[in-house]
Structure 1
Amino acid sequence: MSRPREFDVDKVLNQSMEVFWAKGYKATSFEDLTNKTHVKKQSLYGVFQDKRSLFLKALALYRAQNLDSLREMVDRGGSPTEILDTVKSASLCSKNEDSRNGCLMVNTALEFGMSDEEVTKEVEKMFSDVQLVLEEVISKGQAIGEITTRFTSIELGAFLANALRGTRILEKTGVPVEQIETILNTSFGLLKK
C-alpha cells in the first residue's frame, strides 16, 4: 500500500518554478528544489519523476499563469488601445527585485536554444499564444481606427511580442527601469494612429 502524499503538489510546483526562474535549469540542483519546497528528493521524484519533468511542468504552469493574466487584462474590457496600455503598464512592473529574474520563457530560450525539442515546444507555445492575444487586440483596434493599418495585425503582434520579450532580457541584465519604460512607450506608441 502506498503512503499518502504529504505535500501540496500545486504549491511545490509553484515553488519549483520560482527556483528555475531565478537560477535557470542547469544551475538548479535538487538540493535547491528540496530547500525551497521542504519536500524530500524521493518524494519529488515520486510525483515528478526527475528534474527535467519537473522543469517541463514548471514551464507549462508559467505559461498558463501568464496567459491567464494576459487574458484577464483583455477580458476586463476597454478599447483596444486601453487594453494595450494595461498590458504595457503590467510589463513595467520592473521596479521590484523579482522582475530582475526576467521572464522564465525568455531565460529558458536563451539557456537551451534549440537543444531540447520539448522545451523548445513549450517556449514556442508561450511566444505564439501571447502573440495571438496581441494580434486579436490589435485587429479590433484596426477595425475601429485606433491602431495603424500600415502593417497587418500579425506583423504588429509579432513586433509587439518581440518588444516585450526584448525588455525581459534587458531587465535580466540590469538595464535601468527608465530605459525599459522608454522602449515600451515607443513600441506601444508606434501602434496608435
Structure 2
Amino acid sequence: MARPREFDRDEALEKAINVFWAQGFAATTTDDLRDAMGIGRQSFYNTFGDKRQVYLEALRAYQRRSTSAQLARLTSPDSPIAGLRDLLVGLVPEDDARRGLGCMGIGSVIEFGSSDAELVEMRDKVGPVLGGGLIERIRDGQARGEIDASLDPAETAAYIQVSMSGLQTAARAGAGASELQQIANFTVDRLRAR
C-alpha cells in the first residue's frame, strides 16, 4: 500500500519556482529543490519526475501568473496610455531583493536562448497573448487620440515587449527602482500623440 504524500504539492511547486527564479536551471541542484520544497528524494521523483520536469512546470506556472498580472495592469485603467504605463511600471518592484530577481521567463531566455525547443514553444504560446493585448490597447489609444496615430500597432507592441525585457534584465543586473521607473515612463511618453 502506497503512503499518502505528506506535503502540499502546490506549496512545494511554489517553492521550486522561487529557487529556479533566483538561481536559474543550471545552478539549481535536485537537492536545492528538495530542501526548499521540504520533501524527500522518493517523493520528489514520484511526484514531479526529474529536475527538468519541475523546471518546466514551474516556468509554466510562473508564465501564467505573470502574463495574467501584466494583462490586468494593461487593461485595468480606462485610459490606454495609463494601462501601458501601469504595465511597464508594474514590472519594477520597490523591494530591492524582489526586483533583483528580474523575470524568470527572461532568465530562461538568457540561460537557454533558442537551444531548447520545448522552452521556445512555451515562449511562442505566451508572447502572442500579451502582444495581442498590447495591439488592442494601442489601437484603442490611437482611436481616442492618446497614442500617436502614425505608429504601427504591431511594431509598437513589439517595441513595448522588448522594453519589458530590457527593464527586467536591468533589474536583474541591479538597476534601482527609480531609474527603471523613469525608463518605463520615458518609453510610454514616446508613444503619446503630439
Q: TM-score, normalised by structure 2?
A: 0.92
Contact kept, 8 Å, 2:89 with 2:185, in 1: the verdict is no
How many residues align structurally?
A: 193
For structure 2, the residue ranges without an aligned partner over 5 or more in a row are none
Instruction: Report what 1:120 is aligned to.
Output: 120
Once the two structures are TM-superposed, the CA of residue 182 in structure 1 deviates from its matched residue by: 2.5
Instruction: Report what 2:76 is aligned to.
Output: 76
- Tell me the secondary structure at the aligned position of residue 83 of structure 2: helix
Once the two structures are TM-superposed, the CA of residue 75 in structure 1 deviates from its matched residue by: 4.6
Instruction: Report what 1:184 is aligned to.
Output: 184
Bigger Cα displacement from structure 2, 142-151 vs 69-78: 69-78
After superposition, give the CA deviation of every residue in 1:36-94 in whole Å (9 maximum; x if it has no partner): 11011211111111111110011100111012212322453412122122213312224
Contact kept, 8 Å, 1:94 with 1:171, in 2: the verdict is no
Note the 1:141-156 alignment, pairs <5 A: 141-156=141-156
For structure 1, the residue ranges without an aligned partner over 5 or more in a row are none
Contact kept, 8 Å, 2:92 with 2:171, in 1: the verdict is no
- Tell me the secondary structure at the aligned position of residue 115 of structure 1: coil
| One-letter amino acid matched to 1:63 | Q
Contact kept, 8 Å, 1:108 with 1:123, in 2: the verdict is no
After superposition, give the CA deviation of every residue in 1:99-127 in whole Å (9 maximum; x if it has no partner): 10110011110100112110122233333
Percent of aligned positions that are identical? 30
Instruction: Report what 1:13 is aligned to.
Output: 13
Bigger Cα displacement from structure 2, 2-11 vs 175-184: 175-184
Aligned-residue CA RMSD in angstroms?
A: 1.6
Aligned-partner Cα distance in 1 for 2:106–2:124: 10
Instruction: Report what 1:106 is aligned to.
Output: 106
- Tell me the secondary structure at the aligned position of residue 26 of structure 2: coil
| One-letter amino acid matched to 1:147 | I
Once the two structures are TM-superposed, the CA of residue 185 in structure 1 deviates from its matched residue by: 1.4
Once the two structures are TM-superposed, the CA of residue 189 in structure 1 deviates from its matched residue by: 0.9
- Tell me the secondary structure at the aligned position of residue 25 of structure 2: coil
Aligned-partner Cα distance in 2 for 1:71–1:31: 35
